[in-house]
Structure 1
Amino acid sequence: MFPKRVGLIVWINDFKAARNLERIGHIHFISKRMNYCILYVNEKDMDKTMAYLQKLSFVKKVERSYRTEIKTDYSSKTVIE
Structure 2
Amino acid sequence: MSINQDLVDTTLTKRQGVVVYLNSVSNQYKLRRYGDIVYFSKKMGYCILYVDQEELDQVIEQLNRLNFVDQAEKAVSDEVDLSSSHIEEQITTLAQEAEQKLQGSQEKNTDHIA
TM-score normalised to the size of structure 2? 0.64
Query: How much has 1:58 moved relative to structure 2?
Result: 0.2
Query: 2:109 maps to what in 1?
Result: none
Tell me, which stretches of 5 or more residues in structure 2 are unaligned?
1-10, 93-114
Q: Distance in 2 between matches of 1:24 and 1:71?
A: 27
Query: 1:29 maps to what in 2?
Result: 39
Q: Over residues 11-35 of structure 1, what are the superposed CA-to-partner deviations in whole Å (9 max), with x where a residue is unaligned?
A: 0011121111011100000101110
Q: Secondary structure at the match of 1:53?
A: helix
TM-score normalised to the size of structure 1? 0.88
Q: Which has the higher helix share?
A: 2
Give the letter aligned to residue 60 of structure 1.
D
RCO (CA 8 Å, sep 6+): is it higher in 1 or 2?
1
Tell me, which stretches of 5 or more residues in structure 1 are unaligned?
none
- Could you tell me which of 64, 72, 82 is aligned with 1:72? 82
Q: Distance in 1 between matches of 2:31 and 2:79?
A: 25
Q: Percent identity?
A: 33
Query: How much has 1:69 moved relative to structure 2?
Result: 1.2
1:61 and 2:61 aligned: no
CA-based RMSD: 1.5
Q: Which has the higher strand share?
A: 1
- Could you tell me which of 13, 17, 25 is aligned with 1:3? 13
- Could you tell me which of 21, 24, 42 is aligned with 1:14? 24
